[in-house]
Amino acid sequence: MTNARILDGTKIANEIKAEVAAEVELLAAHGVRPGLAAVLVGDVPASQIYVRSKVKTCAELGLFSELITPPETVTTEEMLQLVANLNAREDIDGILIQLPLPPQVNAKLLLEAVNPAKDVDGFHPVNVGKVQSGQPALAPCTPAGMIQILKRSGLPIAGQNAVVIGRSDIVGKPIAMLLLQENATVTICHSKTHNLPGYAREADILVAAIGRPGFVTADMVKPGATILDVGINRISEREEFDKFFAGDVRREELFLLKGSTLVGDVHPAAYAMSGAFTPVPGGVGPLTIAMLMSNTVRAAKLRRGLPV
């Protein structure tokens, strides 16, 4: 049995939400109520669940939120007009456009049309540039949450070798930049990296964000390393379940009940090698919504010239 420390993302997310609620209360005293507009196109069930939980969290923490649901047939022009209207609204501090969008909508054009001051996802090139140059900005929620996990768990970042597996614009690249800002020595690996396991074994902090179930195996983990597992992969085949969770009785009961389970980008057996790790589910995932709320409050302050 492993002695690795489980990094409880739900607990850390709840701490951040409590802080956000307190900030919202303080802002209310100055007549400011941070507002988030969530734009959800069409009927993608997973996106609906996700967006509704964001709207629900806004209500719980005292933020204003508005859910806008254009039809599946919406055009790029109509979406650009919608974004322009939201950019102009004083009661909206954050604009969230839920991806994926239907194929006829130019997602890149749309995300770039969002006012960078309201880009609470941190995807706009202006915010990407600010994050890279260490200026106050709205950083992408998942990477910002991962930094919070490390800091609030008292895990060292400065001087550590950090290896990021994955180079997406949403997680891989921004987490590399944020770790660099915290004075880690950062290596980015990806599907074309030669001897990827060799790099991974050097990591004091290993970030798995490649989108492949169980990709990181025990022989790729330096003993005592901190693992941040960003992967959320749903598996429903018995063969796959046995590959990752053979002998895990409790997980098997839930698998048989639901017909599926989640596995990260790290093979569960690899966690035993680590000093600390984020589980799947309940690790990095809960931080994403907490940081979205935090970014919305931050945007409200930055837009009004209030200290952040």
Residue 111 sits in a domain whose CATH number is 3.40.50.10860
Q: Would the pLDDT of 1 be above 60?
A: no
Does one domain contain both 63 and 176? Answer: no
No. of helices (H) and no. of strands (E), the chain: 11, 11
The pLDDT-based confidence of 44 (bands split at 50, 70, 90) is confident
Q: Mean pLDDT of all residues in the chain?
A: 95
Domain count, the chain: 2
Under DSSP, the state recorded for 204 is S
Average pLDDT, integer, range 139-149:
97
Does one domain contain both 88 and 167? Answer: no
pTM of the predicted protein model: 0.94
Q: Would the pLDDT of 50 be above 90?
A: no
- Give me the pLDDT at residue 172, please: 97
Q: How far from the centroid of its chain's Cα atoms is residue 245's Cα? A: 25
CA 94 – CA 100 distance, rounded (Å): 19
Q: Could you tell me if 75 and 88 are in contact, meaning their C-beta atoms sit under 8 angstroms apart?
A: no
pLDDT tens-place string over residues 225-275: 999 999 999 999 999 999 999 999 999 999 999 999 999 999 999 999 999
125 belongs to a structural domain: no
Sheet holding 226-229, edge to edge: 5-6, 276-277, 226-229, 205-208, 161-165, 185-189
Q: Could you tell me if 41 and 82 are in contact, meaning their C-beta atoms sit under 8 angstroms apart?
A: no
Domain-ending residue, one of 53, 86, 120: 120
Residue 229's CATH number: 3.40.50.720
Does one domain contain both 164 and 280? Answer: yes
pLDDT tens-place string over residues 57-111: 999 999 999 999 999 999 999 999 999 999 999 999 999 999 889 999 999 999 9
Q: Would the pLDDT of 165 be above 70?
A: yes
184's tokens? 């880690």
Does one domain contain both 101 and 150? Answer: no
**Catalytically annotated residues:** 54, 98, 121
